[in-house]
């Protein structure tokens, strides 16, 4: 995060704008809307836009050239002139007095920058690109304007009326949070949006009277995080990620996805890596039960899809045995997501009419798979967690009837900026993968559909040097 987004209370505070043009007028307007008093330093005539603001007694013009004395008593400063030397002088004088200062459109000489603003007071949303792409910020703002009705301000005002009563009714922060999440996701919001505010207030009063201050059993959200790209999350997954009190996550959850969870939620790492299970599965199951019994909403965040090699079935069996409510949110599994981003269709009329998903975990140095079933023609085989056993995998498939020339691919960290795809055949893939120094998580695809990769490959990531997955145990385990 390059900048810390904050909101300043400027009601009744003195702020300084240097420059009497239209740009300065726009900054002065923002300050006035925030309740500030504005002093404008401009030796000449004010622009038409600025002159219109002088009808209020909260705008004062100082008809003089800028000098450092003008900063006395100011809480915040804008430099909005067309003179670069003067703007820099304002910046240096303000910083010498430890005042926040913004030189318009010059982020390199700013102690703070201005975002694009969506005003639904008392709800205010700010969007910033850190000064790198202001047009992009404005485009995002325009998109958000369409998604956030003006009535959100009235909804926030209604919540403010009940703030004291809710605080008295619910002594804990957790209790208050749960009540408001339930209330604001209820028909109360739609009542406000449609202008039925008295009805909304009455309904909210009823909800508060009917609610209990006692903490009951919580709930577990078993949510698939997909193959790694945050853009592939479902809307429902995002909503539950923002509601959970505790996040229980594993190694295959990428940091960008973990960062999308509620920031004040507790986090519980239960990751597994090959041959080293940090927390045994039975213990994970009971952790979920214990946290839910404490009244918490528990997000069990799993890489890929919870019901495809994710042991989600085992976890909800335990939850049901202990009477813990749960929800399951499916996700784009690695087979579908990674293959798509690698330009490899898993089925194709000219290549494969069947798809088989298997796990390639080695046990006692061997792979216990139904090789005769896997090695039939006109099907695609996807192997999860097979990087360590790649040599044996290819050898067994050839031994059970697949030609050594059968196309095969292995994809590292598919769907992310660190995606790397290596294609070859059953004869060549082990050596090519070793040469590429692939690291988990990886996915192996075998079948003639792999031959379409070169033609259909569309995703060409350009990873940044620092764009890596960091977890408590270095990197995610193989998929």
Verify that 291 and 357 share a domain, yes or no.
Answer: no
Query: How many independent structural domains does the chain possess?
Result: 4
Is 142 a domain residue? no
- In the numeric block, which tokens belong to residue 115? 């975002």
Verify that 340 and 326 share a domain, yes or no.
Answer: no
What pLDDT digit, counting tens, does each position of 84-128 carry?
Answer: 999 999 999 999 999 999 999 898 999 999 998 999 888 999 999
Q: What percent of the chain has pLDDT over 90?
A: 65
Is 66 a domain residue? yes
pLDDT value of residue 467: 44
Angle of helix 197-210 relative to helix 152-161, nearest 10 degrees, comes to: 40
Residue 268 lies in domain: 219-332
pLDDT value of residue 365: 61
As a whole number of angstroms, the distance between CA 437 and CA 447 comes to 23
Could you say which of 272, 296, 302, 420 is catalytic? 272
pLDDT value of residue 94: 97
pLDDT value of residue 159: 93
Out of 306, 332, 358, a domain closes at 332
Q: What is the mean pLDDT of the chain?
A: 89
Mean per-residue pLDDT for 439-450?
94
Is 160 a domain residue? yes
Verify that 80 and 55 share a domain, yes or no.
Answer: yes
pLDDT value of residue 214: 53
Q: What is the CATH number of the domain that holds 98?
A: 3.40.50.720
pLDDT value of residue 145: 86
As a whole number of angstroms, the distance between CA 459 and CA 393 comes to 27
Verify that 158 and 102 share a domain, yes or no.
Answer: no
As a whole number of angstroms, the distance between CA 57 and CA 317 comes to 69
pLDDT value of residue 51: 80
Q: What is the CATH number of the domain that holds 290?
A: 3.40.1010.10
pLDDT value of residue 158: 93
Verify that 284 and 177 share a domain, yes or no.
Answer: no
pLDDT at 471 over 50: no
pLDDT value of residue 463: 54
As a whole number of angstroms, the distance between CA 385 and CA 454 comes to 24
pLDDT value of residue 273: 59
Verify that 323 and 343 share a domain, yes or no.
Answer: no
Mean per-residue pLDDT for 13-19?
97
Using 50, 70 and 90 to split pLDDT, how confident is the model at 299? very high
Is 235 a domain residue? yes
* CB neighbourhood size of 183 (10 A): 21
* CB neighbourhood size of 88 (10 A): 15
Verify that 232 and 186 share a domain, yes or no.
Answer: no
What pLDDT digit, counting tens, does each position of 410-433 carry?
Answer: 999 999 999 999 999 999 999 999
Is 147 a domain residue? no
As a whole number of angstroms, the distance between CA 424 and CA 440 comes to 19
Verify that 325 and 397 share a domain, yes or no.
Answer: no
Cα radius of gyration rounded to whole Å, the chain: 29
Q: Strand 407-412 relative to strand 442-446: parallel, antiparallel, unpaired?
A: antiparallel
As a whole number of angstroms, the distance between CA 246 and CA 220 comes to 10
Hey, is 366 helix, strand or coil? strand
Is 388 a domain residue? yes
Q: What percent of the chain has pLDDT over 70?
A: 93
Range of weakest confidence among 150-154, 219-223, 270-274, 441-445: 270-274
Verify that 365 and 401 share a domain, yes or no.
Answer: yes
* Phi–psi pair at 14, nearest 5 degrees: -90, 130
DSSP 111-176: SS-PPEEEEETTEEEEE--TTS-HHHHHHHHHHHHHHS-TTHHHHHHHHHHTHHHHHHH--SHHHH
Verify that 32 and 106 share a domain, yes or no.
Answer: yes
What is the distance in angstroms between the CA of the first residue and the CA of the last residue of the chain?
30
Hey, is 363 helix, strand or coil? strand
Out of 332, 362, 381, a domain closes at 332
Q: What is the CATH number of the domain that holds 390?
A: 3.30.950.10
Mean per-residue pLDDT for 451-469?
74
CB-CB contact of 4 with 28 (8 Å): no
As a whole number of angstroms, the distance between CA 197 and CA 191 comes to 6
Does 57 qualify as catalytic in the annotation?
no
CB-CB contact of 181 with 173 (8 Å): no
Could you say which of 178, 250, 302, 420 is catalytic? 250
pLDDT value of residue 472: 33
As a whole number of angstroms, the distance between CA 225 and CA 308 comes to 12
Angle CA 85–89–33, to nearest 5: 105
As a whole number of angstroms, the distance between CA 191 and CA 254 comes to 39
Verify that 327 and 349 share a domain, yes or no.
Answer: no
pLDDT at 258 over 80: yes
pLDDT value of residue 112: 93
- Return binding residues: 22-23, 43-44, 227, 303-305, 308, 333-334, 385, 414
Is 417 a domain residue? yes
Is 133 a domain residue? no
- Return binding residues for NAD(+): 22-23, 43-44
pLDDT value of residue 476: 34
pLDDT at 473 over 60: no
Burial class (CB in 10 A: 0-12, 13-18, 19+), 477: buried
pLDDT at 374 over 90: yes
pLDDT value of residue 372: 92
Verify that 357 and 431 share a domain, yes or no.
Answer: yes
CB-CB contact of 399 with 326 (8 Å): no
Preceding omega of 354 cis (within 30 degrees of 0): no
Does 105 qualify as catalytic in the annotation?
no
Higher per-residue confidence, 67 vs 148? 67
């Amino acid at each position: 995060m390059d900048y810390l987004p904050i909101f300043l209370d400027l009601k009744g505070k003195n702020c300084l704008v240097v420059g009497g043009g239209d740009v300065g007028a726009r900054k002065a307007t923002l300050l006035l809307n925030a309740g500030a008093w504005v002093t404008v330093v401009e030796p000449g005539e004010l622009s038409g836009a600025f002159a219109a603001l002088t009808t209020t007694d909260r705008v004062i013009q100082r008809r003089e050239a800028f000098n450092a004395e003008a900063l006395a008593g100011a809480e915040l400063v804008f430099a909005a002139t067309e003179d670069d030397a003067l703007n820099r002088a304002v910046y240096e004088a303000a910083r010498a007095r430890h005042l926040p200062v913004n030189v318009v459109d010059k982020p390199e000489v700013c102690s703070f920058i201005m975002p694009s603003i969506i005003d639904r007071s008392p709800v205010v949303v700010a969007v910033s690109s850190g000064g790198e792409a202001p047009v992009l910020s404005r485009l995002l703002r325009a998109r958000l304007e369409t998604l956030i009705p003006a009535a959100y301000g009235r909804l926030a005002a209604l919540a403010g009326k009940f703030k004291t009563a809710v605080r008295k009714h619910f002594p804990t922060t957790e209790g208050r949070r749960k009540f408001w999440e339930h209330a604001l996701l209820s028909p109360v919001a739609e009542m406000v949006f449609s202008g039925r505010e008295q009805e909304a207030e009455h309904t909210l009063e009823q909800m508060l009277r009917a609610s209990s201050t006692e903490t009951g059993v919580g709930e577990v959200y078993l949510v698939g995080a997909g193959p790694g790209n945050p853009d592939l999350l479902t809307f429902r997954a995002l909503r539950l990620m923002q509601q959970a009190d505790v996040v229980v996550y594993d190694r295959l959850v990428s940091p960008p996805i973990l960062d999308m969870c509620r920031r004040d939620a507790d986090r519980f790492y239960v990751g597994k890596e090959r041959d080293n299970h940090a927390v045994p599965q039975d213990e994970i199951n009971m952790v979920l039960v214990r946290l839910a019994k404490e009244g918490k909403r528990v997000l069990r965040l799993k890489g890929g899809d919870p019901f495809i090699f994710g042991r989600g079935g085992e976890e909800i069996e335990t939850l049901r045995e202990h009477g813990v409510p749960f929800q399951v949110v499916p996700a784009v599994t690695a087979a579908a997501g990674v293959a798509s981003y690698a330009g490899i269709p898993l089925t194709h009329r000219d290549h494969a009419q069947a798809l088989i998903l298997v796990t390639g975990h080695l046990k006692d140095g061997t792979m216990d798979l139904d090789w005769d079933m896997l090695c039939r023609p006109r099907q695609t085989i996807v192997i999860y967690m097979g990087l360590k056993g790649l040599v044996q995998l290819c050898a067994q498939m050839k031994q059970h009837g697949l030609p050594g020339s059968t196309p095969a691919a292995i994809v590292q960290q598919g769907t992310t900026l660190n995606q790397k795809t290596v294609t070859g055949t059953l004869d060549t893939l082990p050596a090519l993968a070793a040469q590429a120094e692939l690291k988990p998580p990886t996915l192996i695809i075998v079948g003639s559909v792999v031959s379409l990769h070169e033609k259909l490959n569309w995703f060409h990531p350009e990873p940044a040097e620092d764009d890596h997955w960091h977890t408590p145990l270095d990197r995610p385990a193989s998929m």
